[in-house]
Amino acid sequence: MAGMKQRMGDLYDWFERRLGLGEAITDAAEHPVPSKTSSWWYVFGSAAAVLFMLQIVTGILLALVYAPTAGEAWNSLQFLDHNIRLGWYLRALHGWGSDFMVAVVLIHLAQVFLFGAYKYPRELTWIVGVFLLLLTLGMAFTGQVLRFDQDAYWGLGIGVSIVSRIPWIGGALVDILLGGPILAGPTLSRFFALHVFVIPGILLALVALHLWMVLRLGINEWPMPGRLVSKKSYAAEYHKLTEKTGIPFVPDAAWKDAVFAAATILAVMACALWFGPFGPTGQPDPTIIQTAPKPDVAFLWIYAVLAYLPANLETPMMFIAPAVIILAMILLPLIFGEGEKHWSRRPMAVLMLIGVALTLGIFTRLGMYTPWSPIMDAWSKEPVPVAYLKDRTPVERAGAIVFENKQCRNCHSLGGEGGMRGPALDGIASRMTEDQMIRQVLQGGGNMPAFGNALSPAETTALVDFLETLRAGRVPAAIDASRNVAESPQPQPEKTIPPVQPER
Amino acid sequence: MEQESSKANDPNPPSELVDATQAAPGSDASGHSRRVFLFNVALFLNGIVGTVLAIPIIGYLLGPALRKRSSQNAWIDLGAASDYPEGETRLASFRDPFSVPWDGQTAEVPCWVRRIRGNDFQVFAINCAHLGCPVRWFAQSQLFMCPCHGGVYYADGSRASGPPARGLFEYAHKVVDEKLMILAGKLPTLAAKNCGGPRLTQIQPTAATEASAAIASQKPGDDSWPA
């Protein structure tokens, strides 16, 4: 055994004399870091890097089978899922790895922001990190396109529709993105090149740069309230923390990174096994229009924001807001490069982080159930609740049929079933008078189309008669006070006007 | 900046490397300027070669955007005009005039054909004017609805409600030899200048008959793309 060990040592020496990498790597691994940075808060960057490696490996493995043409991509995904041994698992690993990578990169960014790690001298590390985030999102989007199904086809349509609104160059950019006049074969080939060559190439280079700067400038020390960052004294202070009281990165600090990375990969594997791969949903046939396209989870918040922006704000917001956000992130370390790092002394930073997290969370949640979308088949799927038809006159029941037949249900729910685009109509008669309902139905308004062209007078009467029966529990029907005045037989105010009920 | 401020006690070993390169031993002075000149000439030469190389590459990349307008749309046969009943709106589809063999299913493009009466047609793009999702026609309520963000359009394609800033995109069309032809090919987006603004007037909810008569009297193809 001793001879074996000796021979292995000789072999290592043979390579080391020629490569000379061993010493550099050992130095880098064992470089001293401030002792308090051995923390479970400092593990997200390395986990993101490990996830990136997982994505590269699984991506290459998928590329062994995937057919990157618009005509065959969807079929090759089916083939991967059903005909290739464990193909579904590789797809699931890559898909879940993508979601985890986006999440871990965001958490890493939040942690770095909260710990003031972007301050001097790590400004450029942060700026490169901002581009790493954008590239990660770019990978997520282009990856979703490669899963060339209905969602991918129409999602890409949404993407280029956004791009088309860029003033002056929008049209040319759409053509370049699509690779032709319309979304077709050349489009997928382009996104394949982006997803597999262009973005990963840039991502690899920037990850290397990011890591190089982390090694060169050292890991951010644990922030202490009152310990201010100053360009004059920082290097000496950091030197004291590392050289005098520091610990070697490997193994004293790195074991936590390693444990967390392993746990992350384990979680990806568990999700892949349990939930399986994403899609593919229906085939990318544009003539199958029975679809409600939705982006992947990382972009649901954008999808939600686009539903709520008023038309005149939409185009400016689409371009000004992202530009401002990205510029602010890039300028952040250059403007606030010194001073306090500890979160307890940076209340605005903490508030901003909470605000951004809540905003993203709320819009993502909204994007999951899309209350703004009409439910296209609600009118033919959900009958009017029986309770709403009990003891009703024939005209009122005919109105219920009109209600279903004219697709009112796609936007308005009854008994909890139906669209959420418009208000639920269960208690509508308590809120609107007959006249108001007739006007609303015929003329629309308030984001409701006018149905004047689609309803005959008889249908309108029946519909409104039916709606008049929909009262919220014992709440009385809404009344129009002035109508009472107008219809009162004797215009003698003291006697005939009934007590006016507040109209709602 | 960091180098200057912390030269004395920079904790980072790489700074020594930087110093080492700066302190590289000077070469023979007489031959030096000549070699520097030749190196600059070589750089210049590479600059020229690089530029000459880059121009066609950029042209290749911009190719799709530099296509002539005439090669982005073509007249396409949508079948006999009589296949479309008067007063109805039907889903039709056509083959992308510039399709390539590996387009697969994406080469088939759907559109909505509305035959008002006689040879009065309107042909709408499937794509919602908001963000391009496929709109669906509901004959009972005479509305197009979009599943994505809830854009709604009237039968004549004008905006009814929701986020779209304009009505549906319309293809120019003509009836030749009893056949309905449309000028299509390019993905309709807000960037395509000739799509026109929301010129179709919103139907005022007067009597249903009056309104439909008003639509019928509108000149078809008003809002469409010129050739």
Cβ atoms of residues B161 and A447 within 8 Å: yes
Distances A485 to A431, A432, A477, A482, A496 between C-alpha atoms, Å: 20, 18, 17, 5, 9
Q: Indicate the DSSP class of residue A196.
A: I
Within a domain: residue A433? yes
d(CA A25, CA A319): 44
Range of A423's domain? 378-496
- Residue B100 to residue A450, Cβ atoms within 8 A: no
Question: B193: which chain A residues are within 8 Å (Cβ-Cβ)?
Answer: 171
Is residue A163 domain-shared with residue A199, that is, in the same domain? yes
- Residue B11 to residue A243, Cβ atoms within 8 A: yes
Q: Which of B1, B5, B11 lies at the smallest CB-CB distance from A218?
A: B11
Question: Is the pLDDT score of A2 beyond 50?
Answer: yes
Q: Which residue in the block uniquely carries the two structure tokens 């070669």?
A: B49
The pTM (predicted TM-score) of the whole model is 0.86
Q: Indicate the DSSP class of residue B206.
A: S
- End residue of a domain, out of A346, A369, A392: A369
pLDDT digits (tens, 9 = 90+) for A174-190: 999 999 899 999 999 99
Distances B68 to A94, A134, B65 between C-alpha atoms, Å: 40, 34, 9
Question: A172: which chain B residues are within 8 Å (Cβ-Cβ)?
Answer: 62, 65
Within a domain: residue A242? yes
Residue B144, classed as helix, strand or coil, is strand
- Which residues, in sequence order, are bridge partners of residue B143? B138, B154
Cβ atoms of residues A281 and A151 within 8 Å: yes
Note which residues in 186-225 of chain A have CB less than 8 A from chain B.
Answer: 186-187, 216-218
User: Mean pLDDT highest for which of A91-105, A303-317, B28-42?
Assistant: A91-105
Name the residue in chain B with its Cα closest to that of A442.
B205
Return the amino acid letter for A85.
Answer: R
pLDDT of B67 reads: 79
pLDDT of B11 reads: 46
What does pLDDT average to in each consecutive run of 10 residues of chain B (227 residues)? 43 46 54 90 97 96 84 89 92 92 94 92 93 93 92 93 91 92 90 49 39 43 40
Q: Which residue in the block uniquely carries the two structure tokens 């790092």?
A: A341
Is residue A418 domain-shared with residue A308, that is, in the same domain? no
d(CA A420, CA A410): 8
Length of chain A: 504
Is residue A75 domain-shared with residue A99, that is, in the same domain? yes
Within a domain: residue A501? no
- For residue A275, what is the domain's CATH number? 1.20.810.10
Is residue A49 domain-shared with residue A141, that is, in the same domain? yes
Closest CA to A284 of A48, A26, A73, A22: A73
Within a domain: residue A28? no
pLDDT of A275 reads: 97
- Residue A374 to residue B2, Cβ atoms within 8 A: no
d(CA A88, CA A93): 9
pLDDT digits (tens, 9 = 90+) for A377-421: 999 998 999 989 988 999 999 999 999 999 999 999 998 899 999
Residue B160, classed as helix, strand or coil, is strand
Is residue A145 domain-shared with residue A188, that is, in the same domain? yes
Number of domains in chain A: 2
Note which residues in 142-161 of chain A have CB less than 8 A from chain B.
Answer: 153-154, 157-158, 160-161
Question: B11: which chain A residues are within 8 Å (Cβ-Cβ)?
Answer: 218, 235, 238-239, 242-243
Q: What is the ipTM of this complex?
A: 0.88
Kindly write down the DSSP assignment for every residue of A237-292, as one continuous string: HHHIIIIIT-EEIIIIIHHHHHHHHHHHHHHHHHHHHHH------S-S-TT-----
Lowest mean pLDDT among A326-340, A347-361, A408-422, A487-501: A487-501
Is residue A349 domain-shared with residue A290, that is, in the same domain? yes
pLDDT of A503 reads: 52
Is residue A290 domain-shared with residue A361, that is, in the same domain? yes
Within a domain: residue A503? no
Is residue A320 domain-shared with residue A451, that is, in the same domain? no
d(CA A317, CA A305): 10
Name the residue in chain A with its Cα closest to that of B7.
A235
- Residue B126 to residue A242, Cβ atoms within 8 A: no
Instruction: Answer yes or no: CATH 3.90.1640.10 is held by domain B70-217.
Output: no
Size of interface A-B (CB pairs under 8 A): 257
Counting Cβ atoms within 10 Å, is residue A387 exposed (0-12), middle (13-18) or buried (19+)? Answer: exposed
- End residue of a domain, out of A350, A369, A388: A369
d(CA B159, CA B152): 6
Within a domain: residue A23? no
d(CA A359, CA A444): 32
Is residue A155 domain-shared with residue A292, that is, in the same domain? yes
- Residue A70 to residue B104, Cβ atoms within 8 A: yes
Name the residue in chain A with its Cα closest to that of B4.
A232
- End residue of a domain, out of A308, A336, A369: A369
Is residue A256 domain-shared with residue A365, that is, in the same domain? yes
- Residue B1 to residue A231, Cβ atoms within 8 A: yes
- Residue B143 to residue A183, Cβ atoms within 8 A: no
Percentage of residues in chain A with pLDDT exceeding 90?
Answer: 71
pLDDT of B210 reads: 43
- Residue A165 to residue B104, Cβ atoms within 8 A: no
Return the amino acid letter for A348.
Answer: M
Within a domain: residue A334? yes
Return the amino acid letter for B211.
Answer: A
- For residue A395, what is the domain's CATH number? 1.10.760.10
Q: Which of A166, A311, A453 lies at the smallest CB-CB distance from B163?
A: A311
CA distance A437 to chain B (A): 14
Within a domain: residue A91? yes
Cβ atoms of residues A363 and A309 within 8 Å: no
Q: Which of B100, B141, B152 lies at the smallest CB-CB distance from A406?
A: B141
Question: B6: which chain A residues are within 8 Å (Cβ-Cβ)?
Answer: 235-236
Is residue A284 domain-shared with residue A385, that is, in the same domain? no
In degrees rounded to 5, what are phi and psi of residue A276?
Answer: 80, -175
Mean pLDDT of chain A: 91
Is residue A365 domain-shared with residue A422, that is, in the same domain? no
pLDDT digits (tens, 9 = 90+) for A8-58: 999 999 999 999 998 889 989 998 899 888 899 999 999 999 999 999 999
Cβ atoms of residues A145 and A195 within 8 Å: yes
Q: What is the C-alpha radius of gyration for chain A, rounded to an integer number of angstroms?
A: 31
Among A161, A173, A189, A443, pick the best mutation site for testing chain B contact (most B Cβ within 10 A).
A161
